[in-house]
Chains A and B, each alone.
Chain A
Amino acid sequence: MDSLKEDLKKHIIEQLNLEDLTVSDIDDDALLFSADGIGLDSIDALELIVLMEKYYGIQVTNPDEGKVAFLSINTMADYIEKKRA
């Protein structure tokens, strides 16, 4: 699970061009779409949907599911694990 979270952070940094961040800067429970957290926006949400399909083969088609899944690295990792199970 820890390697999945690390892997996710690497992909997010690369895909979203988060040039100023490293893997260690992103807390597992930091809110991805909050200004107090990572500060992502709606375009980033679309990029995350693409990222989920590209790297994990998961299609996020239900917006309500996506809202919960994309809260933090922890929730994203849980979502991936659940879909893989």
Chain B
Amino acid sequence: MYITAASTISHQPTFKNAGFSKLIEPLKTDSELISPNFKDYIDAGLLRRMSKILRMSVTAAKDCLQQAGVDQPGAIIVGTGLGCLQDTEKFLNNFLTIEGLLPPTSFIQSTHNTIAGQISLSIGNHGYNMTHTQNTLSFEHALIDAGLLLVEGNDNIIVGAADEYIEILGEIGEKLSANPAINLTSGASFFVVSKDQSGNSIAKIKDVVTVGLVQDINVSIENFLTNNTLEESEIDLVLYSDFVDSGLVSDVVKRFENSSEAINYTNLVGIYPSNSSFALHYAADRIQNNNKIKTVLIINGLNRINLGLTLIQSIEA
């Protein structure tokens, strides 16, 4: 599957900023979402009701379509770990405080599949519309779905992921005695993927695998590399995330240190359940801007029991 367009809205200057991977520094703890002018992408009538996650997602998805020169995608597939939290919180607060009829908008927009739905509404798309919510592997599952659909004949698929931070997440984290250094953020990354290589192709997604209840990360990575007939030394860049500060993945990544550059992408974009979608955009951006990087491995270990492995290659590889 080939990436023909990529767009990310995050706490870093990623939006409409090709080459951002060379510029960004590790995120500071007081960072804020860098929002583009959403009115440039979303009709005012729709925008007024949209929460942060919807604004980010629809804008990034439409930016992708513009980049790819595609009017109507063959499908819209979204991954989200926690869904539309802002509307969920608003609805629950309404539910607790209002007697009588409840305002419908926050209820309607509180469901996870609102994201994919709003993307389709904003472009008038009537095709396959799917939402995957699988904790920290939501984006990987969306990618697998996109790959299967491409085989079935759909083309120019929008696939992406988004999650939004709301204040109560920080409060819950504190009550759970989570590490205070955790940098919870919001982000949305969307892509247009196609079956065949074209002039617009940025990079190629060679393989995506998810492992639930992972027992041995090392063995899973070895199997993944073997299945793709790759040696460790052939990986030029490893992008990884770790479960808080467990060091589970960073220890494993040491096996690549002689031959590869290794970057913990949660330090760059912060923590949200689908932040591996940022890693995919980061990988594609690095490949585009450095012809020495041919093969990138994303190791998503954000949740202790879930492992996501994604292999990205340059078009020439």
Q: A-side interface residues toward B, CB under 8 Å? A: 15-20, 39, 41, 43, 46-47, 49-50, 53-54
Residues of B close to A53: CB separation below 8 A: 100-101
From A17, A41, A49, contact of B101 by CB (8 A)? A49
Interface class of chain B by DSSP = loop
Q: With both chains docked as a complex, state the minimum distance between the C-beta of B311 and any C-beta of chain A, in angstroms.
A: 43
Contact with A along B33-44 (1 / 0, CB 8 A): 000000000001
Contact yes or no, B104 A43, CB < 8 A: yes
Interface size class of B (residues with CB under 8 A): 10 to 19
Interface residues of B in 264-292 (CB under 8 A from A): none
Residues of B close to A41: CB separation below 8 A: 45
Contact yes or no, A47 B105, CB < 8 A: yes
Contact with A along B86-107 (1 / 0, CB 8 A): 0000000000001011111100
Interface residues of B in 39-70 (CB under 8 A from A): 44-45, 48-49
Q: With both chains docked as a complex, state the minimum distance between the C-beta of B159 and any C-beta of chain A, in angstroms.
A: 28
Residue of A whose beta carbon sits closest to that of B46: A41
From B45, B48, B103, contact of A50 by CB (8 A)? B103
Q: With both chains docked as a complex, state the minimum distance between the C-beta of B232 and any C-beta of chain A, in angstroms.
A: 53
Q: Does B108 reach chain A (CB closer than 8 Å)?
A: yes
Complex CA gap A53/B99 in Å reads: 10
The answer to whether A18 and B100 touch (CB under 8 A), given A43-B105, A43-B108, is: no
From B48, B98, B108, contact of A17 by CB (8 A)? B48
Contact yes or no, A15 B103, CB < 8 A: yes
Residue of A whose beta carbon sits closest to that of B102: A50
Complex CA gap A53/B102 in Å reads: 10
Residue of B whose beta carbon sits closest to that of A15: B103
Residues of A close to B98: CB separation below 8 A: 54
Residues of B close to A43: CB separation below 8 A: 49, 104-105, 108
Residues of B close to A15: CB separation below 8 A: 103
Residues of A close to B104: CB separation below 8 A: 43, 46-47, 50
Contact yes or no, B103 A19, CB < 8 A: no
Contact yes or no, A54 B105, CB < 8 A: no
